Chains A and B, each alone.
Chain A
Amino acid sequence: MSTPPTLARRLNEWGLLLGVIGAVIGFIIGFAVGTHAIPYSFDEDNSLGSDPGILLGYALSVVGFLAGMGFLNYPIGRLLGAKRPTEEDNAYMHGEGGGLTRYFRMTTDHKVIGLQYLVMILAFLFIGGLGAMFIRTELLTPSPTVANAQSYLTLVGLHSTLMIFMASAAIIGPFGNYFVPIMIGARNMAFPRLEALTFWLLPPAGLILLSTVFLGGFTTGWTGYAPLADQNVLGMDSYLIAFALIGMSIGLSGVNMIATIMTKRAPGLPLSRMPIFVWSVLVTSFLGALAAPALIAAVLMEVFDRSYQTTFFVPAGGGSPYLWENLFWFFGHPEVYIFVVPAFGLVMEMLPVFTRRPLWGYRVAVGGMVGIGLLSFVVWQHHLFVSGLAPSLRPFYMFSTELISVPTGIIYLVALGTLWRARTRFTVPMLFIFGFFFNFLIGGFTGVFLSDVPSDFTLHASYFVQAHFHYTIMGGEVFALMAAIVYYLPKMTGRTMDTKLLRFQFWAVFITFNGTFISLISVGILGMPRRVISYAAYLQPLNISATVFAYGLGLSMALFLGILLWEVVIKQKVAARNPWESLGVEWQVPTPVPLFNFDQVPVAWSLPYDYDTGKPAADFGPAVPAFSGA
C-alpha cells in the first residue's frame, strides 16, 4: 500500500489482542453488574459468583471481544455518518498484503476465513477426541477408576458438546466458505463481515465451554435436558452461553450462504447447473437458518429459568420438561443433517474427478438433498418415542423417519451410478470416500432399528444409539472431512499431504473405527445405557474391546493431524496447481487464489463434470488449460 495505514487499520492489526482486552473488560463489567446490581435471591454459591454474574459476564465478554476485534467499527461508523469504505479499504479488510497476520485478525476474505475455520475445527476435533480417550479409559472397568461420577459426566458433556460444535461447522466452515464463492464465480461473499462474525463466535464459544471445568462442570451431556439443567452449578452457564454462540454462528452462516448463492452467481449459472457441493451448502444453510433460532430461544429460556426463576421447563411452575425436549430436538434433528448433507455434497463433488465421468443423476441428487432437508424438520419426535409424549403421534414420526431413508438412498444410487463401470482412481481421498460410504451405510442400517418404535423401545438411549450416530457423524462426516482435507489442501495452502503413510493411516483409522463402534453397537444391544460410569459386569469384555480399538482410533487420528502438520507446516512441499486433474472451477484459478478470486468474472457455464469431453466448466477469458501441471 502506498498510503500510510490509518488508525483504524493499525487497531485492526492488533485485533486479537484488543479483542482479548475487550473480553476481559466486558467480563469484569458484566460480572460486577450481574453479581451486585441484579436482584438475585438464590443462595447457591458465594465464592465463585452467582448465575446472573457469570451469564452477564460471559455475554459482555463476547461483546467486548468482538468490539476489540473491530466488528463494531463499520456499523457504528456508518451510524455516525462515516463515508462508505473505499475500494482500498475493502482490499485492506480483505487481507491485502497481510501475510500470515491476516489469519489472526478480522478479515472479510472468505479464503482466510475458510482456513481459520479449518484450524479451529481441527483443534475442537483434537480436544474432543482427547475427551473420548479419557471416557474410554474410564469404561475399561465397570466401576469408577480414573474419573469420579462428577468429572465423568463433565467429560461426557465436554466431549459431546465440543464434537457437536466441530461437526456443525466441519465441512461448511472450511470448504463451504473457501470454495462456494469460487465455485459460483463470485469475487466475494454477500455479507463478508457477517461471515467473519460466524467464525469469530467460535473461539469464544470453545473457550467458554472449556471454562466449565473451573466452574464445577455440568452433568447434562450435550442435550442439556431441563429441569436437570436448572439444578446444575455455575458450570451449566458455560454450556448455555457457548451453545447460544454456536447457534448464532450456524444461523448467521446460513443467512450469509443463502444470500451469496442466491445473488452472487456468475452470469450464465442458473441454479440447475451449480456444482453439487454448492447445492448441499444451500440446503444446509436453510436448515441452519431455520433450525438454529429454536435452539437459541430454548437456551435463552433456560438462562431465565436458571437465573430469574421463570419456570418454562419446571412442571411445578406450570412449565414442562417436554418443552425443552421439543425445542431442542426441533433444532437437534435438522442439526444432524447440517452435519451430513455437506458431506454428501463433497463426496459427490469428488467422485466424478476420480472416476473421470459425469456425475450420474445430478437432478435426483439435488432432489434427494432437498428432500432430506424438508423431511428433517418433521422427524424430531423420534428422539422422544419413549418419553410418554403424545403416543398417538408415534406412527407418524416413525413413518417420516423411515421416509427419510428414501432421499438418503438416492445419494447411494448416484454414487453407484457414477462409479458404475468407471475406471476409478484409488487416490487417498477416494479411499476416504469409500470409507464414508461404508460407514454411513452401517449408520443408516442401524438407524432403521431406531426408527421403528417397537425395536426402539429396547435400543433407545443405549449405546446402540451412540454407535449409530458415531457411524453417521464420525464415520460419515469426519471421513468426508478427511477426504476433503487431502483433496483441497493443495488449493487452500499450496502444499500437499498426499503420502504413502496416509494410505496406511486410512486403513488404520478405518479398521479401528469399525472395531470400536461394532463393539459399542453390541454393548448397546446387550443393554448398556449411555453416559453411565458404572455398568453391569457382563459387559466388560466388549467394553475392553471398544477401548482398545478406540486407542488405536485415537492414535491414527493423531497420525492424520501429525502428517498434516508435518507436510504443511514443516516440509512445505509445493503442490501442483491441479493435482487431481479436476474440471471444477475452483481448480482452474491459480494457487494461491488471487485476493478477489477472479480478475475477470467467468461466464459460459456447464456442469463441471464433463470428463468425457474434457470441456472446462467456464470461460475465464484468458485461456487457462484445464489439466496444466504446477
Chain B
Amino acid sequence: MRNRATAIRVVIIVWFILAVGGDVALAFGPIPPGQASDLASSESLTILLLAEIGWPIFSAVLAALFFTMVVNRTAPPTEEPSAAALRGNTRAQTAWIAGTLVVVLSLAVYGTVALAIDQPGAGVPSQASALAMPTSTSQPLEVQVIAQQWWFTYRYPTYGGIETPQLVLPVNQKIEFNVTSLDVVHSFWFYALGVKADAVPLNDNVVTATPTKIGTYRIQCAELCGLWHGNMADNTAMVVSPSDFAAWIQQETTLDAPIMKYLLPYSHTYEPSPTIYGS
C-alpha cells in the first residue's frame, strides 16, 4: 500500500469499531447458560466478562495480523526490499510480555475469587451424613444424583430417602447436588442450572445451586460412559413451585411405597455390587 500512515489509521479505526461494537453487542446479547439459577447467572457473568476483555485483544491481534500480512503483501517475484531489518526490540518485547502477564494475572485472580464465591467447598459434601430438612430457602436441600449405566436416578434423603427417575426441584431453594456413580465415570449436566459434576464410583461430588426459574429442562450425561451415553438424557427435569414440589413428593412417596423396604439406607456413596467381574 502506498500510503502507510493512512493504512495504519484505517486498521486502527476498523479495530476500534469492531472492538466497541463487539463489546456492546455482547453486553446486550443473551449469554449462555442463562439465568435459571444463581450458579448459571454467575457463569454467564464470567463468560461475559472474559468475552468483553478477550474480544478487544482478539480483534487487535487479528487487525495487526491482517494489516501486517495482507496490507503489505506483494506478488511473489518482486525485488522490492522489505523495510530495514529488525532483529528484535527489547522494549516492545518487555511491554508485550508484561501486558499479557497483567491480563493473565488479573484473570486468574478474578477466577479464583469467583470460584471462592460460587463454589465454597465444591466437590466435598458439607456434612458427613445427609443434611437435615432445610428450615429456610438459603439452607441447602440435599438431592442425590445416582448415575448408572445408563440412567440417572435421584434420592431425596430429607423426604424419607425416596428414589425417583425424574428430577424435580423447588424453585428458589438452595440445592446441594451430591453426585455419585454406581459403575463407571459419568457426568451430571444440568445445563440450565449451570451444574456439571462428574459422577465417579465411591466418590461424592458436590455442587450447590439455587434454581430461580420455573420450567422444564434437559439434563444429560457429559462424560462418555458406554453404549447409551448419547441417550442418557432426559427432557423432563423440572423446577416447580414449593407447593407443586410438595405434591410431587407426596405422589412419588406413594409410588415408591412397594420398594421402600428394599432400598439401601441413604448414603453419600454406594459400593457397587456385585463388585468385581460379575459372578
Contacts and interface: CB of A to CB of B under 8 A. Distances in A.
Check whether chain A touches chain B (CB < 8 angstroms): yes
A321 B201 contact: yes
Interface in A414-466: 415-417, 419-427, 430, 434, 437-438, 441-442, 445, 448-449, 452-455, 457-458, 460-462
A315 interface: yes
Interface residues of B, number: 94
A448 B54 contact: yes
Interface string A353-364: 001111111111
B141 to A, nearest CB: 20
Query: Most chain-B CB neighbours within 10 Å: which of A42, A388, A395, A610?
Result: A388
Interface in B171-210: 179, 183-185, 187, 189, 191, 194-198, 200-206
A464 B88 CA distance: 37
Contacts of A409: 96-97, 100
Contact of A228 (B82, B114, B121, B184): B184
Contact of A152 (B100, B122, B230): B230
Interface string B113-139: 011001101111000000000000000
B248 to A, nearest CB: 24
A311 B32 contact: no
Given A441-B62, A457-B194, A421 B114 contact: no
A420 B68 contact: yes
Nearest to A531: B224
B203 A398 contact: no
Contacts of A149: 227-228, 230-231
A387 interface: yes
A421 B272 CA distance: 66
A423 B76 CA distance: 10
Contacts of B83: 357, 420-423
Interface residues on A, range: 35 or more
B243 interface: no
Contact of A452 (B73, B93, B111, B233): B111
Contacts of B255: none
B96 A410 contact: yes
A494 interface: no
A612 B85 contact: yes
A498 B32 CA distance: 45
Nearest to A525: B32
A225 B185 contact: yes
B68 A419 contact: yes
A322 interface: yes
A417 B88 CA distance: 8
Contact of A454 (B43, B185, B204): B43
Contact of B72 (A221, A424, A533): A424
B276 A309 contact: yes
B257 interface: no
A460 B196 contact: yes
27 contacts: A153-B227, A228-B225, A315-B200, A317-B276, A321-B185, A357-B83, A361-B93, A362-B87, A362-B88, A363-B88, A386-B205, A417-B88, A421-B68, A421-B83, A426-B76, A441-B65, A448-B54, A452-B114, A453-B114, A457-B196, A458-B32, A458-B47, A460-B196, A461-B222, A530-B222, A532-B233, A536-B218
